[in-house]
Amino acid sequence: MALALGEGGLAAGGGGSSSSSSSGPGSSRLRRQLELGSFAAGEYVKQLSQQSDGDRDLQEHRQRIQALSEETAQSLKRNVYQNYRQFIETAREISYLESEMYQLSHILTEQKGIMEAVTQALLLQADRDDPALGARRAATDSRVNNPFLPLSAKEVAASEEGRQRTLTTLLEKVEGCRDLLPESPGKYLVYNGDLVEYDADHMAQVQRVHAFLMNDCLLVATWLPNRRGAYRYDALYPLDGLAVVNVKDNPPMKDMFKLLMFPEGRIFQAENAKIKKEWLEVLEETKRSRALSEKLRLEQEALPRAALPSPESSNPFEKDEDEVEPPPEEEKVDLSLEWIQELPEDLDVCIAQRDFEGAVDLLDKLNEYLADKPISQPVRELRAKVDERVRQLTDVLVFELSPDRSLRGGPRATRRAVSQLIRLGQSTKACELFLKNRAAAVHTAIRQLRIEGATLLYIHKLCHVFFTSLLETAREFETDFAGNSGCYSAFVVWARSAMKMFVDAFSKQVFDSKESLSTAAECVKVAKEHCKQLSEIGLDLTFIIHTLLVKDIKGALQSYKDIIIEATKHRNSEEMWRKMNLMTPEALGKLREEMRSCGVGSFDQYTGDDCWVNLSYTVVAFTKQTMAFLEEALKLYFPELHMVLLESLVEIILVAVQHVDYSLRCEQDPEKKAFIRQNASFLYETVLPVIEKRFEEGVGKPAKQLQDLRNASRLMRVNPESTTSVV
């Protein structure tokens, strides 16, 4: 019974439909009893077993407990669902509030910077209008900001010397920075401290570093093991190209900030939140001071300089003072325009956002503005900054065209980077990278082709993939480099190398696998037909494919020639010089059709009654095999193969002719001798003219060797005592 009650309690824990038995004073008492802190399940079951009259009481009590369990479970579900909804809504509100607070903080920071810049600009304008007032304000500000700042020039120089001495002392502890950080009178140390560098991708600790912030750059040095207070040079970043980003705390990753300098970024962790805040503030303040001082310097250099009075000359041959012409003043270039001052930063933003067109537009605008301006020192300095951004932009565009990038999208995917490189005056580099990218794409497409069982099917796919890619590349090249005719020779060279890649895959599948001559002829025919498609854009690569395939085709022709010669010699060795009996009219009709397809139209005169053919089986088989060889060879024909094909035909024909001549001279039976003469007449008067005519039709010019062979007035001489033919 105790076991039954335990099972009931266990079943009640799973939940189910509520029962009406849970209502009433009995259920309330049971609920209060179960809610007691001193409730013991074992004692309760033991007491209940002793008080019950039988199994029925236990079953009723079990039902009440189960109903109470189901009611409790339902109540818990409702409460959990209600709390879960409230939790989701609260989390959403917190997220919204956090986003708004972050935006508000960012706006306030920007407003603070703007107000400080405006105030500083107004003070500078006032100082420029009233120098005496500016001097008094500078003295007052110095005393307010730093009450310990001396007022004498000697003490000011001593203070500057002390700051430089401090910088020199600290940098002596850094190995390898002497040559990279030349001494200059205006350079001084602003802030320094220990940081921990983390990997930007996996947020794993990399190394401990010590950072030195100077008024124009940031030096990062790594700790030297076993040498306390000594460091090794790691990197130097100019403040002009450095961006500072606050990293949101995400325990255990906290107190971090990120430094962005194209094309990389590094994450550092400060010792605590206070030091992190100091780093962020001092970096921003130093960058702002650097930008402001640079702007003031450019404005001062842009102001027209007062003409200096020339000393009185004692040369009697010089003209009078009133006749001396003043030296021409150098034309000043106004570089104080807002868009010029912000140009380096705008270029950095465009490069980071991959707005290549916007970056090149800014460069074109600057070049147009400076086209007719003299080259002064401020212009040179501006050019140096811009040239550094141009190198960065070029590196990004080069990476966009590298084969390591994704090759999907076809040639048009490269148009954006290619066009911007051309606008930057990098046409040669753009052409080289574009062709390398397309070569990698073609190579990948060929490698991804599945080698099917049927060779012809694979060749169809191979030709479609390769020549389609070549045609698309040619059209895209013509679009991108329409105004650069000097790049077309590079495309022709690339097309030849791409064709060699195609021929390697083609030959490996067709010729290296020892396919039949008919299959090879069909494959070559397919390749030639696809190659002719390039003539649509004025590109004819037929001669290249001929040059690359001539060796393999020669080998295939000679190999098949050897097979025919061996088969002919084998049949000659078993020749009995008997007429052919085809047994059925169907077989005779089939033979007539085969000979007609070979070009032998007068074959009917060699047929007899009752399916007999007045020719030897050897001569008929030789005729069909030779004509089939000629038809397939003509599909492969191009001028470089003329002599190979002609010599192969002559060798094949000589084997049959010599065998007939030898048999005629050695045969003594008059009937067989007459039959041999009839076969010889068929070869000389029917087969050889058909071969000569078909060769001339396929090649376009007659073959003198075949004419000489046919017009021979007598059969070739052989040694009567020999049993082998003489070639």
pLDDT of residue 269: 92
Over residues 609-624, the mean pLDDT reads: 84
Residue 217, helix vs strand vs coil: strand
Over residues 249-277, the mean pLDDT reads: 85
DSSP letter, residue 405: S
Whether 341 shows a pLDDT value over 50: the answer reads: yes
Using a pLDDT cut of 90, give the percent of the chain over it. Answer: 2
Over residues 107-114, the mean pLDDT reads: 80
Higher pLDDT, 488 or 604: 488
When pLDDT is cut at 50, 70 and 90, the band that residue 180 belongs to is low
What are the sequence ranges of the domains in the chain? Answer: 55-114, 178-300, 338-506, 558-717
pLDDT of residue 275: 92
Give the Å distances, CA to CA, from 547 to 335, 524, 542, 556.
61, 13, 9, 15
CA gap 120, 224 in Å, rounded? 43
Q: Give me the phi and psi of 248, to 5 degrees please.
A: -65, 135
Contact 386, 363 (CB under 8 A): yes
CA gap 349, 329 in Å, rounded? 38
For 146-172, give the secondary structure using H, E and C.
CCCCCCCHHHHHHHHHHHHHHHHHHHC
CA gap 692, 681 in Å, rounded? 16
pLDDT of residue 195: 93
Helices marked H in 424-487: 427-447, 455-480
Query: Which of 2-11, 151-160, 400-409, 694-703 reaches the highest mean pLDDT?
Result: 694-703
Per-residue exposure over 635-659, b if at least 16 CB sit within 10 Å of its own CB, e if not: bbbbeebeebbbebbeebbbbbbbb
Whether 371 shows a pLDDT value over 80: the answer reads: yes
Q: Give me the phi and psi of 336, to 5 degrees please.
A: -90, 5
Element containing residue 219 per DSSP (H, E): strand 217-223
Q: Please write the tens of the pLDDT for every residue from 438-448.
A: 888 888 888 88
Q: Are strands 231-238 and 612-613 parallel, antiparallel or unpaired?
A: unpaired
Over residues 32-46, the mean pLDDT reads: 78
Burial class (CB in 10 A: 0-12, 13-18, 19+), 598: buried
Whether 314 shows a pLDDT value over 50: the answer reads: no
CA gap 391, 387 in Å, rounded? 6
CA gap 346, 361 in Å, rounded? 11
pLDDT of residue 242: 83
Q: Which of 517, 528, 562, 590 is nearest to 655 (CA)?
A: 562
When pLDDT is cut at 50, 70 and 90, the band that residue 330 belongs to is low
Residue with tokens 């040239």, as numbered in its chain: 387
Whether 258 shows a pLDDT value over 80: the answer reads: yes
Residue 196, helix vs strand vs coil: strand
Fold match between domain 338-506 and domain 558-717: no
Higher pLDDT, 168 or 423: 423
What topology is assigned to 558-717 in CATH? Tetracycline Repressor; domain 2 (1.10.357)
Contact 510, 520 (CB under 8 A): yes
Which two three-digit tokens encode residue 585? Answer: 């009219």
When pLDDT is cut at 50, 70 and 90, the band that residue 388 belongs to is confident
Least confident of 191-200, 208-217, 406-415: 406-415
Residue 288, helix vs strand vs coil: helix
Over residues 557-580, the mean pLDDT reads: 86
The CB-based long-range contact list for 408-411 (8 Å cut-off, 24+ gap) reads: 410/441, 410/472, 410/476, 411/438, 411/441, 411/472, 411/473, 411/475, 411/476, 411/477
DSSP for 373-390, written as a single string: S---HHHHHHHHHHHHHH
Amino acid at position 224, single letter: L
Whether 16 shows a pLDDT value over 50: the answer reads: no
Q: Which of 549, 551, 536, 565 is nearest to 502 (CA)?
A: 549
Sign of CA dihedral 314, 316, 318, 319: positive
Q: Please write the tens of the pLDDT for every residue from 460-485.
A: 888 888 888 888 888 888 888 887 77
The residues facing 232 across adjacent strands are 175, 222
Q: Are strands 174-175 and 231-238 parallel, antiparallel or unpaired?
A: parallel
CA gap 19, 70 in Å, rounded? 8
CA gap 385, 377 in Å, rounded? 13
CA gap 572, 616 in Å, rounded? 11
Q: Give me the phi and psi of 407, to 5 degrees please.
A: -95, 10
Whether 54 shows a pLDDT value over 50: the answer reads: yes
Sign of CA dihedral 189, 191, 194, 198: negative
CA gap 78, 86 in Å, rounded? 12
For 325-347, give the secondary structure using H, E and C.
CCCCCCCCCCCCCHHHHCHHHHH
DSSP for 106-123, written as a single string: HHHHHHHHHHHHHHHHHH
Over residues 673-685, the mean pLDDT reads: 85
Over residues 629-637, the mean pLDDT reads: 86
Question: Could you tell me which residues come within 8 angstroms of residue 244 by beta carbon, excluding any fewer than 6 positions away?
Answer: 257, 258, 259, 260, 280, 283, 284, 287
Whether 254 shows a pLDDT value over 50: the answer reads: yes
CATH placement of domain 178-300: 2.30.29.30
Task: Quote the pTM value.
Answer: 0.48
Which two three-digit tokens encode residue 349? Answer: 């933003």
Mean pLDDT of the chain: 77
pLDDT of residue 268: 92
Q: In what order do the strands lie in the sheet with 189-198?
A: 174-175, 231-238, 217-223, 205-214, 189-198, 264-269, 256-261, 243-246
When pLDDT is cut at 50, 70 and 90, the band that residue 196 belongs to is very high
CATH placement of domain 338-506: 1.20.58.1210
Residue 701, helix vs strand vs coil: coil
Element containing residue 665 per DSSP (H, E): helix 642-666
DSSP letter, residue 407: -
Contact 640, 546 (CB under 8 A): yes
Contact 100, 44 (CB under 8 A): no
Least confident of 529-533, 571-575, 712-716: 712-716
pLDDT of residue 601: 75
pLDDT of residue 134: 57
Contact 715, 680 (CB under 8 A): yes
CA gap 536, 556 in Å, rounded? 31
CA gap 244, 258 in Å, rounded? 6
CA gap 188, 213 in Å, rounded? 9
CA gap 624, 636 in Å, rounded? 19
Query: Which of 219-223, 290-294, 582-586, 609-613 reaches the highest mean pLDDT?
Result: 219-223
Q: Please write the tens of the pLDDT for every residue from 122-171.
A: 777 766 666 655 555 555 554 444 444 444 444 445 556 666 666 777 77
